[in-house]
Amino acid sequence: MRCPVCASEKLSEETEHASSEVHLRFKDWEPGFVQYKALMVYPARGRVCLACGYLLFFAGEETLETLRKGRPG
């Protein structure tokens, strides 16, 4: 795995993500009872580039599987 900014391979070990403030939202992901529901993607784990300090975040497996399946319907 390489840093997407500086291409260094010197990354920290993987660790848990500690805040829910950073997230991505896919609007109108799936039909709900009254209106479409959004899919929220939160970082579950991350690494730090030891060369430039860039933070790499990764979604959890469950969310990843939901995204791989694509939008329902």
In the complex, the residues that contact Zn ion under the rule CB under 5 A are 3, 5-6, 8, 49, 51-52, 54
- The type of residue at 29 is W
**Shortest distance (Å) from residue 45 CB to Zn ion:** 18
Choose between 44 and 51: whose C-beta lies nearer to Zn ion.
Answer: 51
Determine the Cα–Cα distance for residues 37 and 66; give it in Å rounded to an integer. Answer: 14
Cβ proximity to Zn ion, 6 vs 22, nearer residue: 6
Spatial strand order of the sheet with 15-16 comes to: 15-16, 43-48, 55-59
Q: Which is nearer to Zn ion, 4 or 73 (CB)?
A: 4
